[in-house]
Structure 1
Amino acid sequence: MSKLKPIVSYSLLTISCICILPVATFANETPSQNNQVNSAQNAASTEITAINIQESDQGITLIIETANGKTPEGEIIDNDTDVVIKLTDVKLNLPDGNNFLKNQPMEGINSISVTQTSATEVEIKITGNGTLPNVEQVENQQGLTLSIIPTPKTVLTENNQSEDSIELSVVGTRNVDETTPANVTIINREQIEKQQARDVRDLLRYEPGISVPYDSRGGLQGINLRGLSGNRVNLQVDGIRLPYEYNYGATRLGRDFVDIETLNALEIFRGNNSAALGSDALGGTVNFATASTREFLESIGKNSYTSLRAQYSSKDSGFVGTFTQANRLDNFDTLFIYTRRDSGSLDVAGGNSIYQDDQDRTRNNFLGKLTYNFNEQSFLEFTGEYFNNVTDSKFSTANLPGMIFEASTQDLQEEVTTNRERFSLAYQYDDPNSKSWLQFARAHIYYQNAITEEDSNRSVRTAGTIRTEAAEKDLTDRVFGVNLQLRSDFNVGNTKHRLTSGFDISNTYNERNYFNFITTTGTRVNAPTFPQKDFPDSDTFRLGTYLQNEISFGNGQVKLIPGLRFDFYNLTTANNPEFTQKQQGIDAVNYSTSAISPSLGIVYEPSPGLTLFSRYSRGFRPPLYSELNFAFRADIPFRPHKGISNPNLQAETSNNFELGLRSRSQQFDFDITGFYNRYSNFIEPSVFVGFDPNDFGTFRTAGRAIPFQIFQAQNIPDAEIYGLEIKTAYRFSKEPGGFSLKGALGWQVGNNLTRDIPLTTINPLQAVIGLGYQSPNDKWGAELIGTFVAKSREQALVDDQTSVQNGGQPTRKIDFYEPDAYTLVDFVGYYNINPNLTLTAGVYNIFNTEYYQYADVRSINRSAATFEAQRGRYAQPGTNFAVGLTWRF
């Protein structure tokens, strides 16, 4: 702590200090307190009459003028990225009101504020962009003059972005810094725009070890982290769980419920992580953190922000338009974001265009927020969001033989509509300098409703007659929940503690309806076996409570982070006859279980810039409603099949180990993380278990009836996944900007130890390398990026479930398709025409490589007669370009 004193000669005074926390209070100011401050201001002997900011050679100069020309007394406190100057015996008397705020006065300085904090005290707060700014008092004959120079960032990620103080909304104020015992990736809004990402698959294309499976009918299927995908990865928007993936038979309904234009950041936690994130996230957690008014206003230093953003992509003739409006009036903040998307079929490489369905996609997304700021430490925020996506498809005739329909299908058209709406109310208090027992609190109550509707029409030729069938299916996921998180910082002897506790409570309702109609001579007739339900109407109650303590020893070189979480899970089902008739009279089962999951992280910093960490965590995932109770029946030629429930399904558990090293210097960064995860009762959702000798399909082969194949969710007793993740970055210059070289690699291996065969969800080895340049003033930048994806590990040959010879037993093996290795080269860049106008452009797959992503095609049978058609539907775009323009004002 340093003192500001009035100096007779007004000589130079250098401000230097050590982090000492100031006194702060938890309670909000009451109106009576404000009146006391205003009425008592005349007691101060020095008045601040004007505040100005001027540019200097290396930074800026803050000039504070006083009425009597005196330099006020005060003290200086350094706190993380803030320099706080507390002036005493002084009052504000400014022409434009008794407060001053300037956001983004220059690069490296987030904000400068001057506020009257009591009758005779004024606080000056200078906030750096991830680092503590250098502040010095300089000679002046009038008032107080401060020289402010931003401190260059020395800790950079592979995207050349600081990680020093990134606040994660999913875990409160748990910051990603060099002492986080996990591999975490944060992709911020600026990176989203510069990458010209259209969706989360675009956004993660340069993240090795992560894939986003895609289906042309059901959209993005989810995110694969460390070899686990689907419902083993917890996807959230602002901490609210997104609906689960539903993937059975021809139905592949994914988890594409968020438009990335609304995001402030995408937060990726690889592996089963902290106690606060939930034990059922066996693969990891991805949180879509939506934007807030504060971020937009701080970017231009005004109380009003408007932006128009447009982007075009040639890969599917897609156009995106986004309108953003943010405002601040007194204590109220408002935010509105609207996005419209229109696109068509993919323009693919090679001779695969005949397999591309004729598609039209439209999307509308609305996000609105209303925030009331009680003070700088606390606010109350209401959020409303509406997501609507419609995909109209007319299936290519070349694809129809490969679909799970009669071979005589002549035409197929489908419309898939996805709607999601959510409303939430959140209160947050955040004051790390508070001397009370509480430094952070967040309470959140929310409601979310998602419905996916599938409407299809197909024409089938039967005995020379065209029969038209119409099918209507819907899937509902409705959740109501509340969560609370508290954090207390305190010292015990020579140890510092950051104690985080909280709970999550939610109830989710799921419903699936299926109607099928046959149209003959203009009459719509309900088939006798419809309506149906693939699973009974279900309610899932979840309760989770957790405690985590971050303990720092001595000077902070060693940290222990123990955690403990308790989860209770209860599934209640309805007795729906539409479900039991498919189950041949078998009733649905209810399910209840609980578990305690410990975790422990260890961090050791042997020297500045070098960090070693390790982590253990216990995972727990109970079977979902669609895994326990499932009834699917497809009476189709040559391959009648059905799914049945498994009331004996058990919860999955895992033991997860992680070991890593981080090295940071002014020009070079290096990260390496190794992990090993062991799973018990691994749930495989669709396993072939045999033929039903008492149930035969309608269609006959050579006069013989074909028995139904039976599929069922089952537990794999023992499985493992291990791998390695590497990131590195080298900056050729110590100064901001210049050339940089970045690289990353992801390698994974997974085994079904019970059967001694590979797991099919494991991503192949992937490496990314990029050579980039950024001008010193960030006027423009460009990057050449190469991506190499290896051939996947050879899959084991599995029993062919279509053979009915030899008494219905399989006689051959299925040879699953393994796409060849490939290399892609992209070139992207941006140009800031002026501070308010940015142009982005990129050329992708420059060499027009024909390739397929393993996550899309891993279930295709290479030996099938329809192999080319099935694979061709998943061909990726050839050479394509994208261009975007953002106007902020």
Structure 2
Amino acid sequence: MNFKLTIIASSVVLAISPSLQAQEEVSIFDEVVVSGTRSEQSIKNVPASVSKVTSEEIEQNLATDVKQALKYEPGVTVNGRGRFGMEDFTIRGMSGSRVKVMVDGVEQPSSYNPGADVMRKNSNTFEVDTLTAIEVNKGPSSSLYGSDALGGTVLLRTKNPEDLLEAGDDTHVGVKTGYASANDEYKATVEVANRTGDLESLLIYTYRDGNETEAHGDGADIEGPERGTADPFNIASHNVLGKIFYQINDEHRVGFTGEYYTRSADGRILSREGYDGGGGFMPGFVYTNVRADDKDERVRLGIEHEWLAGNVAFDSLEWKLNWSHSESEHNSYDHTGRYQNRNRARAGTDESVQFDVLLQKEIQLAASRHELTYGVAASDNSFELEYTDHFLDTGTSKPGTAEVPKSDSEKRAIFAQDQMFFMNDKLVVTAGLRYDDYKATPEASSGLEEHNSDSLTSRLGAVYHWSNNFSTYAQYSEGFRAPTIHELYYDKDNAAHGYKIVSNPNLKPEESKSYEVGLRASNGVGALELSAFFNDYTNFIQSKTTEEGGLDVTTNKNLDEAEIYGAEFKGSLWLDEVVGAPMGSYARLSMAYLDGEDKKSGDTLNTIAPFTTVVGLGYDAPSEMWGSELSVTMVAAKSANDWEAPEDGSDPNVEAPSYTVVDLTAYYRPANDLTLRAGLFNAFDEKYWQYQDLEGVTASTQGVDRRTQPGRNWGVTLDYSF
């Protein structure tokens, strides 16, 4: 059937991902992804919503971090701001450790946030200039990726030499530099790649130097909790990525990867000056001379081997062994009447060894074709906190109270998937099954118990291609999340302050079941995708506080059940084909609707994003020498009734107001190897808050203006390669 888009549909047809280039007649659904099936596969054959943001799109939007790279992606938000930077991802209402994050298949530790203002261990160590793509698998995907993929998976894929090199022996050298006014950041990137015979190599170095991202310009530039502007915090980062691949022969290829990222930050925390930690009732707790000096690091080393065997058991076998280490060190300085001058030094470390084996086999039968993917995965992880309080006037120190003891965890898994092609590939059925076993062991001196849990997750989906231009799909998938070390072993007896936190090693994994249906259509004038989903979550882990013997006793329990449902649309349209606009003119549209509730209380979940629409109009000259794009992001309000009601009857959350933000980007390419890009963001200087930055904010909260997004700002980049 010849699927045609009418002009009425065209107002709704315009797709979201930040950019469509002057076009070849290739559908965006022919784009290859790996996150949907763990093998290279066209999006059109994946029975689920999978989004891909390429390195070209990241560059076109002048993105300086992952948050900006995904800002136009429907159903996806990136959380975190200020001193500690990016914290986690939210996908269709699921966030934190309920979303799995991987770099080149290597699991990344979830952020650690015990609630104190001096300790965070965030996921802020990703350099976008090293990425060839960001893939987002929306919805539960534990049958592919195991624990933490309860609500979805984010796969960050770094560049390989072949992404930069032409066929045959070749050398690539690229230099990028840029400036972003939102955080006064300068950056420089150098990338070098080479292929000589059977040896390929790559080296990318990026340096960034800037400040904490600004809030809107009309906030009060004062010292104290009512401060309405960003703190004067300096932030610099270095990232080095190196890869070497050697083609031993036609069957064997080996590779080595090393990456090092470091982020340093220091400055005054003016928003804490004069803060009264005693609430006016305890003298000696007014903070002055507040400043901080932080350092975050991430290191990984990996070896991989691919064998094109072509035997009865498998066509290819790939194994990878990776070691990774991440550490956050925070030095928080202040002066109080009680402690005088002090440094609360806080450090957190994650270290892991991960081993993966992936086998693939294609089987051709009389009436069907099968692409089998199966394998095993194993990882050992260690988490440790180290806290020390230094009293600078006396030169003494004492151990700080760490919330969680040093703990080790082990994950073991076996999985299999069959992607079945019937009816001359018109019908594609995907079935998967995975078994995961998880064990957590706290340090013996803690006196806490070992935790064991396991899970069997499945997936069944199908795509039917009614024609070359129109497909429908449906999928059922399951997810689970093993309890985190924090949830299992947070244990603190603070009777002097009237409370006690009790560990619970007997927590059960959280579980999810997801149902999704959708359609995809494309032809010479545009493309669209529409999906609807319903996700059911059980055994949600929640802290519960009761009064026992005059103390508030808090422990984690499997208490909650939740449901989340919604619909997403994205589409693109070639305006030259539809309305006779100049060749290279296009439009994009995305819309995301989400709703959900705690099934016991009936409250809307705090992580439910308000209705969001992104519209784009762009032009790419047929000569590919210049182009521009106008993007308009419209977000509805999240009213006070759309937040969970506080259990203790305290003040409700404030409303997150609606907003409309206009961005304009352009590029000019005077030579094939030289590209200049510029962007004007929030062009009309809209004052707005992202809803996640207002969670927990009530009418009495101080410094709300400090949570706003930047006002009018601009950026520029220059890219030269040869």
TM-score, reference length from structure 2: 0.90
> Would you say 1:600 and 2:460 are equivalent positions?
yes
Which position in structure 2 is the counterpart of 1:819?
656
Preserved CA contact (<8 Å) 1:282 1:619: yes
> Would you say 1:416 and 2:294 are equivalent positions?
yes
Preserved CA contact (<8 Å) 1:513 1:534: no
Choose from 608, 619, 622 the match for 1:773: 619
Which position in structure 1 is the counterpart of 2:631?
785
Structure-2 change in CA distance of 1:765 and 1:302 (3 Å): farther
Choose from 403, 413, 422 the match for 1:553: 422
TM-superposed deviation, 1:288: 0.9
TM-superposed deviation, 1:633: 6.9
Alpha-carbon distance between aligned partners in 2 of 1:681 and 1:726, rounded to the nearest angstrom: 30
> Would you say 1:154 and 2:25 are equivalent positions?
yes
How many residues are treated as equivalent by the alignment?
Answer: 684
Residue pairs, 1:156-305, within 5 angstroms = 156-157=27-28, 163-168=29-34, 172-250=38-116, 251-273=119-141, 275-298=143-166, 303-305=170-172
TM-superposed deviation, 1:888: 0.2
Alpha-carbon distance between aligned partners in 1 of 2:85 and 2:276, rounded to the nearest angstrom: 19
Alpha-carbon distance between aligned partners in 2 of 1:879 and 1:632, rounded to the nearest angstrom: 45
Which position in structure 2 is the counterpart of 1:716?
559
Choose from 720, 737, 740 the match for 2:586: 740
User: Bigger relative contact order, structure 1 or 2, given CA contacts below 8 A and separation 6+?
Assistant: 2
Which position in structure 2 is the counterpart of 1:868?
702
Q: Partner amino acid for 2:236?
A: T
Which position in structure 2 is the counterpart of 1:884?
717
Preserved CA contact (<8 Å) 2:36 2:48: no
Alpha-carbon distance between aligned partners in 1 of 2:256 and 2:494, rounded to the nearest angstrom: 45
1:446-466 per-position Cα deviation (integer Å, ceiling 9, x unaligned): 10011111111111134xxx7
Alpha-carbon distance between aligned partners in 1 of 2:613 and 2:495, rounded to the nearest angstrom: 44
> Would you say 1:622 and 2:482 are equivalent positions?
yes
Alpha-carbon distance between aligned partners in 1 of 2:381 and 2:182, rounded to the nearest angstrom: 38
TM-superposed deviation, 1:382: 0.1
Preserved CA contact (<8 Å) 2:368 2:422: yes
Which position in structure 2 is the counterpart of 1:427?
305
Preserved CA contact (<8 Å) 1:400 1:409: yes
* 3-state SS of 2:164 partner: helix
Alpha-carbon distance between aligned partners in 2 of 1:458 and 1:398, rounded to the nearest angstrom: 9
> Would you say 1:518 and 2:396 are equivalent positions?
no
Preserved CA contact (<8 Å) 1:589 1:628: no
Choose from 503, 507, 516 the match for 2:376: 503
CA RMSD between the two structures: 2.5
Alpha-carbon distance between aligned partners in 2 of 1:402 and 1:727, rounded to the nearest angstrom: 49
Q: Partner amino acid for 1:442?
A: E
Alpha-carbon distance between aligned partners in 2 of 1:827 and 1:886, rounded to the nearest angstrom: 19
> Would you say 1:455 and 2:322 are equivalent positions?
no
TM-superposed deviation, 1:655: 0.9
Alpha-carbon distance between aligned partners in 2 of 1:227 and 1:564, rounded to the nearest angstrom: 25
Q: Partner amino acid for 2:165?
A: L
* 3-state SS of 2:507 partner: coil
* 3-state SS of 2:166 partner: helix
Mean Cα deviation higher: 253-262 or 780-789: 253-262
Residue pairs, 1:338-349, within 5 angstroms = 338-349=205-216
Structure-2 change in CA distance of 1:173 and 1:531 (3 Å): same
> Would you say 1:690 and 2:542 are equivalent positions?
no
1:95-134 per-position Cα deviation (integer Å, ceiling 9, x unaligned): xxxxxxxxxxxxxxxxxxxxxxxxxxxxxxxxxxxxxxxx
Alpha-carbon distance between aligned partners in 1 of 2:120 and 2:603, rounded to the nearest angstrom: 25
Alpha-carbon distance between aligned partners in 1 of 2:134 and 2:89, rounded to the nearest angstrom: 12
Residue pairs, 1:313-352, within 5 angstroms = 313-352=180-219
Preserved CA contact (<8 Å) 2:92 2:151: yes
1:572-619 per-position Cα deviation (integer Å, ceiling 9, x unaligned): 11133xxx5xxxxxx322111111111101111122211110111121
TM-superposed deviation, 1:640: 6.2
> Would you say 1:491 and 2:364 are equivalent positions?
yes
1:428-457 per-position Cα deviation (integer Å, ceiling 9, x unaligned): 2469xx686533321100100111111111
* 3-state SS of 2:67 partner: helix
Preserved CA contact (<8 Å) 1:187 1:265: yes
TM-superposed deviation, 1:263: 0.8
* 3-state SS of 2:702 partner: helix
Which position in structure 2 is the counterpart of 1:444?
320
Alpha-carbon distance between aligned partners in 2 of 1:418 and 1:198, rounded to the nearest angstrom: 18
Which position in structure 1 is the counterpart of 2:233?
359
Alpha-carbon distance between aligned partners in 2 of 1:152 and 1:429, rounded to the nearest angstrom: 37
Preserved CA contact (<8 Å) 1:229 1:283: yes
Alpha-carbon distance between aligned partners in 2 of 1:642 and 1:203, rounded to the nearest angstrom: 42
Structure-2 change in CA distance of 1:324 and 1:775 (3 Å): same
Preserved CA contact (<8 Å) 2:173 2:192: yes
TM-superposed deviation, 1:571: 0.7
Preserved CA contact (<8 Å) 1:279 1:565: no
* 3-state SS of 1:863 partner: coil
Alpha-carbon distance between aligned partners in 2 of 1:391 and 1:863, rounded to the nearest angstrom: 31
1:460-501 per-position Cα deviation (integer Å, ceiling 9, x unaligned): 134xxx711211111110000110111111122201111110
Preserved CA contact (<8 Å) 2:345 2:387: yes
Structure-2 change in CA distance of 1:633 and 1:304 (3 Å): farther
Preserved CA contact (<8 Å) 1:408 1:461: yes
Structure-2 change in CA distance of 1:411 and 1:171 (3 Å): farther
Q: Partner amino acid for 2:568?
A: E
Alpha-carbon distance between aligned partners in 1 of 2:272 and 2:408, rounded to the nearest angstrom: 42
Alpha-carbon distance between aligned partners in 2 of 1:773 and 1:641, rounded to the nearest angstrom: 61
Which position in structure 2 is the counterpart of 1:308?
175
Which position in structure 2 is the counterpart of 1:669?
527
Which position in structure 2 is the counterpart of 1:73?
none
Q: Partner amino acid for 2:456?
A: I
Preserved CA contact (<8 Å) 1:279 1:597: no
Structure-2 change in CA distance of 1:247 and 1:818 (3 Å): farther
Which position in structure 2 is the counterpart of 1:842?
679
Mean Cα deviation higher: 453-462 or 316-325: 453-462
Structure-2 change in CA distance of 1:738 and 1:634 (3 Å): farther
Alpha-carbon distance between aligned partners in 1 of 2:302 and 2:702, rounded to the nearest angstrom: 47
> Would you say 1:609 and 2:469 are equivalent positions?
yes
Mean Cα deviation higher: 446-455 or 711-720: 711-720
Which position in structure 2 is the counterpart of 1:393?
267
Preserved CA contact (<8 Å) 1:670 1:727: yes
Q: Partner amino acid for 1:340?
A: Y
Alpha-carbon distance between aligned partners in 2 of 1:518 and 1:634, rounded to the nearest angstrom: 22
TM-superposed deviation, 1:286: 0.7
Preserved CA contact (<8 Å) 2:232 2:269: yes
Choose from 423, 433, 442 the match for 1:564: 433
Preserved CA contact (<8 Å) 1:167 1:176: yes
Structure-2 change in CA distance of 1:554 and 1:208 (3 Å): closer
* 3-state SS of 2:337 partner: strand
Q: Partner amino acid for 1:753?
A: K
Alpha-carbon distance between aligned partners in 2 of 1:402 and 1:885, rounded to the nearest angstrom: 47
Choose from 370, 376, 398 the match for 2:244: 370
Q: Partner amino acid for 1:725?
A: E
TM-superposed deviation, 1:819: 1.5
Alpha-carbon distance between aligned partners in 2 of 1:375 and 1:772, rounded to the nearest angstrom: 46
TM-superposed deviation, 1:243: 1.5
Which position in structure 1 is the counterpart of 2:491?
631
* 3-state SS of 1:457 partner: strand
Structure-2 change in CA distance of 1:376 and 1:877 (3 Å): farther
Identity of aligned residues (%): 28
User: Which has the larger Rg?
Assistant: 1
Preserved CA contact (<8 Å) 1:482 1:505: yes
TM-superposed deviation, 1:252: 3.6
Q: Partner amino acid for 1:483?
A: D
TM-superposed deviation, 1:303: 0.9
